[in-house]
Amino acid sequence: MNAWIEIIRPATSLLAAIGAVVGAVIAGVPFSIDFVYVFLAVWFVTGAGMVINDYYDIEIDRINAPHRPLPSGRISRKNALSYSVFLFCLGLVFSAFLNIYCFVLVLFNGLIEFFYAKIYKKWWLFGNILVSWLAGSVFIFGGLITFDFRLIWIVSLLAFLSNMGREIFKSIEDVRGDKKMKLDTLPVSSGTKTAKEIAQGFIASAILFSNLPYLSGLLRASYLKIAAFGNAIFFYSLYEKPNKIKLMTKIAMLIIVLAILFSF
């Protein structure tokens, strides 16, 4: 894969952009060019966050992921920083085409991405919370066009909970490099066993609350049938290794999002 595409983690950026579009759909945004602006704004800002994270994580990635574009030398740190700023500016421009609220949220999340990568990633559990907020807020971004949050708050909650589990499992996978760099992550400070149990608790909570969209009375019963596949993957992921859980939870959340979209 081309290094400039790889560094933005296209699968994650695409999932975030799709989530924002789904947020716009369930918020009742009429079909228009706005959907393109929503998609591109979130795509570029998410990509910018991925790049700036790699920029500050280069020493950790030399241990945990030496194949990544920066530690492998395929992209220089200087060029990565410029690339992140460029992507963020593009995201701001497209969000400005929507309204001031979308613009402010993109600006706010961009600052979170920067300070998370530079400072807060090292803080016990707080960094996981920030990243999970970013995951949940993509749906809020779509809803800011009409301010209809009846379903969006539920979807954002599910995204937050599942992402918390995913992020903690990811930190378990990265524990070797994090220990060497003396980061105060949950697995480093509390042990991988405790971290795994907490991560499983967050994913189990996402499974438990996954019925809320239907119970809200805003979705048809078909939601439960489709969402069952996502929940099955969530449940199965609880017993998998951390490196597999990252992908499985993404797929599970995508199925839940599509279930909402097709049952709305």
pLDDT in tens, 14-42: 989 999 999 999 999 999 999 999 999 99
Residue 78 CB: number of other CB atoms within 10 A? 9
Residues 54 and 175 in one domain: no
**Residue numbers of the domain that contains 94:** 1-148
By C-alpha distance, which of 110, 129, 125 is closest to 50?
110
Among residues 113, 148, 183, the one where a domain terminates is 148
pLDDT in tens, 80-129: 999 999 999 999 999 999 999 999 999 999 999 999 988 887 777 888 89
Question: Dihedral angle at the C-alpha atoms of 246, 61, 8, 140, nearest 10 degrees?
Answer: 50
Among residues 148, 176, 193, the one where a domain terminates is 148
* Residue 11 structure tokens: 């699968």
Residues 49 and 138 in one domain: yes
Residues 127 and 228 in one domain: no
Burial of 6 by CB count in 10 Å (0-12 exposed, 13-18 middle, 19+ buried)? Answer: middle
pTM: 0.88
pLDDT in tens, 165-208: 988 888 887 777 767 666 677 787 778 888 888 988 999 999 99
Residues 134 and 224 in one domain: no
Among residues 111, 126, 148, the one where a domain terminates is 148
Q: What is the CATH number of the domain that holds 134?
A: 1.10.357.140
pLDDT in tens, 255-264: 998 898 888 7
Residues 172 and 78 in one domain: no
Q: How many domains does the chain have?
A: 2
Whether the CA torsion 237, 47, 226, 222 is positive or negative: it is: positive
